[in-house]
Amino acid sequence: MRVAVIEGALLELRQLDLLASGDSALHRLDPRLKLLAAFAFILSVVSFERYALSGLLPFFFVPLAVCAMAGLPSLLVARKAALVLPFAVLIGAANPFYDHTLQLQLGPFGISGGWFSFASIVLRALLSAAAAILLVAVTGLPAIAQALARLGVPQPMVDQLLFMYRYLFVLAEEAAHASQARALRSAGRRGLGPGPFAAMVAHLLLRSWERAERIHQAMLARGFTGQFHSSRGYRFGLTELAALLLFVGTCLLLRLVNLPQLLGEAALGLLLRVA
């Protein structure tokens, strides 16, 4: 069962790599543009005050629009973004117990600010995770690392990011092999004591280290000089700058103008005129 879980996680990571190899208009944009756009989106989302809920709702249309334009499966993106839900719930779970400020009265029922801030944390976490996933799905991590380097991030940090991502697959494969070997030798027994678990982790570390050394030697034999090169050519011109300004302007508009509140007030005014 554990082997299946590890292999499933690897398959999902490879799915993002496959999605990043698409050929839509968004895939062909300069990675720096997409990286800055994702940063602007996340910054707009997290800048809302703690009780904000309605103002966050229009931001959910942005990931949906990106999925439609890039041909990405929206359900897959939503499922991956939902992985942050347990952490967001854990962070905001104590808010309803400490913040009793009344924010909304529905007849005999009152909703405190703690529930509003709890829901706001969950929504902001989902939106931020969706933005990061979409960035990887339309760009790919090697291109993102290249964009970071061009934006001034120190090259050693970029290399560490790339190597961590690449060797994550190596570590996961070795973990799957070790778990399968343990299951075959355990004669159906479930669970693992501290001693065998420590031995398996040490064995996994040594096997991963040895395999990483072999992979590095193979990279050097093929002419690796410390830099990763993208197979696509990118340029940041006036078109990319206009697209970035348009996206940032849209995020700024959604941040400053509470569209659901305006629509609600307009609908209420119309109903009052009719009545």
Per-residue model confidence as pLDDT tens for the chain (275 residues): 455 555 555 666 677 778 888 888 888 888 999 999 999 999 999 999 888 888 999 999 999 999 999 988 888 889 888 888 989 999 888 888 888 787 777 777 778 888 889 999 999 999 999 999 999 899 888 888 888 888 888 888 888 888 777 777 777 777 777 777 777 766 656 555 666 667 777 877 787 778 778 877 888 888 777 666 655 566 777 888 898 999 999 999 999 988 888 888 888 888 878 76
Angle, in degrees to the nearest 10, between helices 61-70 and 238-256 = 150
User: What is the rounded CA–CA span in Å between residue 162 and residue 168?
Assistant: 10
Q: How far is CA 33 from CA 25, 133, 230, 237, in A?
A: 13, 16, 16, 10
Q: Are 162 and 142 in contact (CB under 8 A)?
A: yes
Q: Are 29 and 233 in contact (CB under 8 A)?
A: no
Q: Are 165 and 14 in contact (CB under 8 A)?
A: no
CA proximity to 127, closest of 225, 201, 12, 47? 47
Q: Cα–chain-centroid distance for residue 167?
A: 19
User: What is the rounded CA–CA span in Å between residue 30 and residue 36?
Assistant: 10
